[in-house]
């Protein structure tokens, strides 16, 4: 049950509207410039940090669900992540609030 909740929390972190500027065509280069090698701090039903490395790996440290690692990809405007403790791959499109802040799925987060 805890893993399912963590998967839902991680998916909710990524769930965004397809009407955003990112949905309109965030390129691989734009994602690389704004996210790769950085972490995002998120707040919502759970709080934590997700980090994206240039080698395609990702980690999260959540106050409710603990830690996990996985792999990420960005292609055709979609961000996808596969966490090691969870089944399946979650894909979504980012909605930007500007200034490195994002929101969706009951969460808000900021690129550190």
Which tens digits make up the pLDDT trace of 26-62?
677 777 888 899 999 999 999 999 999 999 999 999 9
Average pLDDT value for the chain: 77
- Range list of H helices, the chain: 2-14, 28-35
State the number of CA atoms in the 13 A half-sphere of 25 facing the CB.
0
Q: What is the mean pLDDT of residues 56-82?
A: 91
Share of residues in the chain with pLDDT > 90 (%) = 39
Q: What is the mean pLDDT of residues 77-81?
A: 83
End-to-end CA distance of the chain, in Å? 30
User: CATH 2.60.420: does it fit domain 2-103?
Assistant: no
């Amino acid at each position: 049950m805890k893993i399912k909740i963590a998967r839902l929390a991680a998916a909710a972190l990524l769930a965004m509207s397809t009407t955003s500027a990112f949905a309109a065509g965030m390129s691989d280069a734009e994602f690389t410039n704004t996210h790769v090698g950085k972490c995002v701090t998120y707040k919502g039903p759970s709080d934590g940090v997700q980090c994206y490395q240039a080698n395609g790996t990702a980690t999260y440290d959540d106050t409710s669900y603990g830690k996990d690692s996985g792999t990420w990809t960005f292609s055709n405007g979609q961000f996808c992540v596969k966490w090691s403790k969870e089944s399946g791959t979650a894909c979504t499109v980012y909605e930007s609030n500007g200034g490195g802040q994002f929101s969706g799925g009951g969460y808000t987060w900021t690129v550190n």
